Amino acid sequence: MSEQATPPVKLRESVLAVPAYRQGAAPTKPGFKLSSNENPFDTLPEVVAAIAARAEDSNRYAAAAMTELRGLLAAEWSVSPDHVHFGAGSVTILFQLVQAAAGPGDEYLHAWPSFEAYPSLGLASGATAIGVPLTERSEHDLDAMADAITDRTRAILLCTPNNPTGPIIRRGDFDRFMARVPADVLVILDEAYAEFVTDPEAVRGADVIGAHKNLVVLRTFSKAYGLAGLRIGYGIGEPSIIAAAASVGIPLSVTGIAESAAIASLAPAARATNDDRIAALAARRDELATALRDLGLQIPAAQGNFVWIPESGAGVPSAQALAADFSEAGTLVRPFPGHGVRISIGEPESLPEVLRIIRAHL
Ligand code: PMP
């Protein structure tokens, strides 16, 4: 990325200090793109048809109320429609919630490494991000996170399963953690990869949302539903918190096309196909994790649509070096320098290629 020139107008110093979010690089050779946790399946034909139908009305704004989709999700989560909030991707809602809760001098907590956007969510609002290191098993250290709560803490982000490392947060650990969180501190349970979870011990947002008024659960259509390019995610929480998030949001940023695609994805037949796809991706993930463990690598519990190879312990000596070997072979993965490499679950043919590159690297 090129050096940024000094802007010709006065901009806020705090904003200029914020590094821009960087997406994984575009492939330069024919190969597999396993760097953004995308869904490798083609968009379902009925979803494409819904997109095409709505595209004919592109002269019209989407109705901000999004009544049909809101109703579908409210019924699924057993909440009233005012508990549901939409964003142009769940990352938009993350920004809104942190902005609504944490201003200058305030703090918000997140695990680290976790979703790369977390540290910068509060920079524009002047809040300080506190990253709490994961445990040696690459899991959230909930005791350390609870210890890190101060009277300046306004929000806590929990990511389950954790991107990029893979482990879930167990229900019992979540309950114990919530008992230590002051009732007036916002907790955000980011479940971007929840559909891929097979561990029965995992906390499920839908099971705990009713018990905590300070909890917002985030979901997305980007991963399990394969609509990353359309940008639509949602949050479930107390209407008064949802309303505050909406107040700081940019109006009308969720498109009618994204809304139509999401509705089509929730139709029973589309859901059934998607469930099969999710099961196939989870099985492929387990196959890759097992094969990597058989090579002697220490792979943490993989519960998303990705597998993590740590840089420490029985992992690889250098995340950068491994990612460079992948890139050389035309396959893109995501290195987190100093921490490890994340490999998204892609097409079936990507599996032998991933293993070939790693074997050659070791
Ligand atoms: N949360 C987590 C943990 C993620 O990994 C991502 C995407 N990589 C998001 C939220 C945002 O997803 P989207 O904005 O596409 O819904």
The per-residue pLDDT for range 39-72, each reduced to its tens digit, is 999 999 999 999 999 999 999 999 889 999 999 9
Pairing outcome for strands 340-344 and 306-310: antiparallel
pLDDT-derived band at 25 (thresholds 50, 70, 90) equals low
Q: Is 159 in the pocket of ligand 1 (CB under 6 A)?
A: yes
Residue 279, pLDDT above cutoff 80: yes
Q: What span, in angstroms and rounded, lies between the C-alpha atoms of 341 and 327?
A: 12
Q: What span, in angstroms and rounded, lies between the C-alpha atoms of 192 and 129?
A: 20
pLDDT per position as a tens digit, 174-187: 999 999 999 999 99
What domains appear along the chain, each with residue ranges and CATH number? Answer: 22-37+269-361 (3.90.1150.10), 45-266 (3.40.640.10)
* Closest approach atom of ligand 1 to CA 36: 8
Q: What percent of the chain has pLDDT over 70?
A: 96
Q: What span, in angstroms and rounded, lies between the C-alpha atoms of 50 and 144?
A: 46
Report whether 37 contacts 306 (CB < 8 A). yes
Q: What span, in angstroms and rounded, lies between the C-alpha atoms of 197 and 127?
A: 32
Q: What span, in angstroms and rounded, lies between the C-alpha atoms of 86 and 197?
A: 23
Q: Compute, in angstroms, the gap from residue 90 CA to the centroid of ligand 1.
A: 6
Atom 11 (ligand 1) nearest CA? 91
Q: Is 96 in the pocket of ligand 1 (CB under 6 A)?
A: no
Average the pLDDT over 82-88 and give the result: 98
With the most atoms of ligand 1 within 8 angstroms of its CB, the residue from 90, 227, 254 to mutate is: 90
pLDDT-derived band at 340 (thresholds 50, 70, 90) equals very high
Q: Compute, in angstroms, the gap from residue 192 CA to the centroid of ligand 1.
A: 6
Q: Compute, in angstroms, the gap from residue 191 CA to the centroid of ligand 1.
A: 9
Mean pLDDT estimate for the chain: 95
pLDDT computed for residue 124 by the predictor = 82
Helices (H) and strands (E) in the chain, counts: 12, 10
pLDDT-derived band at 1 (thresholds 50, 70, 90) equals very low
Q: Compute, in angstroms, the gap from residue 166 CA to the centroid of ligand 1.
A: 14
pLDDT-derived band at 31 (thresholds 50, 70, 90) equals confident
pLDDT per position as a tens digit, 187-238: 999 999 999 999 999 999 999 999 999 999 999 999 999 999 999 999 999 9
pLDDT-derived band at 315 (thresholds 50, 70, 90) equals confident
Report whether 158 contacts 169 (CB < 8 A). yes
Q: Is 261 in the pocket of ligand 1 (CB under 6 A)?
A: no
Q: What span, in angstroms and rounded, lies between the C-alpha atoms of 327 and 64?
A: 42
pLDDT-derived band at 15 (thresholds 50, 70, 90) equals confident
Q: Compute, in angstroms, the gap from residue 208 CA to the centroid of ligand 1.
A: 21
Q: Is 220 in the pocket of ligand 1 (CB under 6 A)?
A: yes
Q: Is the C-alpha dihedral spanning 101, 206, 194, 318 positive or negative?
A: positive
* Closest approach atom of ligand 1 to CA 114: 3
Q: Compute, in angstroms, the gap from residue 91 CA to the centroid of ligand 1.
A: 6
Q: Please give the span between the terminal C-alpha atoms of the chain, in angstroms, as a whole number.
A: 30
